[in-house]
Amino acid sequence: MHNFRRIGVLTSGGDAPGMNAVIRSVTRYALSHGVEVFGIYEGYKGLMSGNMKLFDERDVSNIINRGGTILYSARSEEFRTEEGLQKAIKTCRDNAIDGIVAIGGDGTFRGATDLTARGLPCIGIPGTIDNDITATEYTIGCDTAMNTTIEMVDRLRDTCESHARCNVVEVMGRHSGYIGLYAGVAVGASAILIPEFRFEEDKIIEKLVKSKEYGKRNLIVLISEGLGNYGEGLSKRIEEKTGIETRFARLAHVVRGGSPTLRDRVIASEMGVEAVKLLLSGKSNRVVCMRDSHICDEGITYALTLDRMFKGKLSPEELDAYSDDEVKKMRDYCAFKRAEMERLYKINMDISK
């Protein structure tokens, strides 16, 4: 087994509620196993410049309940270059850092793979509100973001009800309609519009008219940011075509902040421990995942390929590295994930008014 003396922990990409709970878990578990921990500030940018602090127990006290990330986050172009990667490797060599736990989304994992390929063992933990890492059922931050979304939309619904209005609400999710779909079902949205499924705008508008005729005073249309700047225009067209007074709201980053939910805190705690266990057992280039509600791990390279397959971004040559059986398994898994979303999408169509 590799003898780890020191590891680093960083958060990269968009922040997510629960990241602090991961930092706490990684730090506490490592320290209790005789491994020192550097908290690295501003993600890979901080790793390149050596912006970090050797943590003690107290540095991670009172953070499990805090949103954002005490390590801050940043996106770095320089880190994508060989020169940037070499700077990061040098920081680790100079400070005797034997491995890194990197919390974030797919960009974070690409960085972790690049570092692993240059001799620095890395483990990824999925932290993004979007829940768009295909290899895992769950990414830390999503539950909090969805709960904040439903709280906000419930408030909008109160005022819609008073004024007999429609509200088009745009929620976050750069390439994924996951938040929009689940929060949409949870708020009883009249319609959910997400990039994964085609829809006909005229049919949506027809449905709103029927709901109004049926006596519904509050009409909520939940749309995902991934559709581009669609919501504002849609709300104007609803008003023009139906005469129903319609407002538009973009929740944006408001759902990315705030105190993490129980689910985010618990999963973050479990995943943090798992990441350190993986490093200490000599594993690297792995991402901690959740499958069938259990914590497990997957190769980062595999996870990134699976992700591109699910998002339709895969070039055929990428599959050359996998056997026919593996490719079939990947395709089946992607089909299952999509079918699950579709099932919920259809349920909402059947039960919403």
Q: Which residues are part of the catalytic machinery?
A: 130
The single-letter code of the amino acid at 35 is: V
By C-alpha distance, which of 254, 211, 228, 195 is closest to 349? 211
What is the spatial order of strands in the sheet that 219-224 belongs to?
Answer: 191-193, 219-224, 166-171, 246-250
Q: Nearer to ligand F6P by C-beta: 252 or 339?
A: 252
Q: Give the binding range for ligand F6P (CB under 6 A) out of 51-59, 166-174, 264-272, 334-342.
A: 166-174
Residues 260, 144 contacting (CB under 8 angstroms)? yes
Enumerate the β-bridge partners of residue 39: 9, 53
Q: Nearer to ligand F6P by C-beta: 91 or 149?
A: 149
Does position 14 bind ligand F6P by CB under 6 A? yes
Total of chain residues touching ligand F6P, rule CB under 6 A: 10
Of residues 39, 173, 177, 272, which one binds ligand F6P by CB under 6 A?
173
Q: Nearer to ligand F6P by C-beta: 17 or 84?
A: 17
Q: Which residues contact 266 (CB under 8 A, 6 or more apart)?
A: none
Residue recorded with tokens 């169509």: 349
Q: Nearer to ligand F6P by C-beta: 205 or 287?
A: 287
Does position 130 bind ligand F6P by CB under 6 A? yes
Binding mask 176-215 for ligand F6P (x = CB under 6 A): ----------------------------------------
Q: Give the binding range for ligand F6P (CB under 6 A) out of 56-64, 80-88, 170-178, 272-280.
A: 170-178
Of residues 172, 187, 222, 267, which one binds ligand F6P by CB under 6 A?
172
DSSP secondary structure letter of residue 242: H
- By Cβ distance, which residue is nearest to ligand F6P? 174
Enumerate the β-bridge partners of residue 10: 102
Residues 204, 218 contacting (CB under 8 angstroms)? no
Q: Nearer to ligand F6P by C-beta: 36 or 170?
A: 170
Q: Nearer to ligand F6P by C-beta: 110 or 283?
A: 110
- Measure the CA–CA gap between 13 and 5, rounded to whole angstroms: 27
Does position 129 bind ligand F6P by CB under 6 A? yes
For the chain, the helix, strand and coil percentages under 3-state DSSP, each to the nearest 5: 50, 15, 30
Q: Which residue spans within 174-307 are E strands per DSSP? A: 191-193, 219-224, 246-250, 286-291, 294-299
Q: Which residue spans within 172-255 are E strands per DSSP? A: 191-193, 219-224, 246-250
Does position 225 bind ligand F6P by CB under 6 A? yes
CB atoms within 10 A of CB 243: 10
Q: Nearer to ligand F6P by C-beta: 14 or 43?
A: 14
Does position 128 bind ligand F6P by CB under 6 A? yes
By C-alpha distance, which of 109, 124, 192, 187 is closest to 152? 187
Residue recorded with tokens 């933990």: 125
The distance from CA 26 to its chain's CA centroid, rounded to whole angstroms, is 19
Stated length of the chain: 353
Q: Give the binding range for ligand F6P (CB under 6 A) out of 48-56, 125-133, 230-238, 267-275.
A: 125-133
Of residues 24, 216, 256, 265, which one binds ligand F6P by CB under 6 A?
256
Residue 304: CB minimum distance to ligand F6P, A: 16
Binding mask 265-304 for ligand F6P (x = CB under 6 A): ----------------------------------------
Does position 152 bind ligand F6P by CB under 6 A? no
Residues that bind ligand F6P (CB under 6 A): 14, 105, 128-130, 172-174, 225, 256
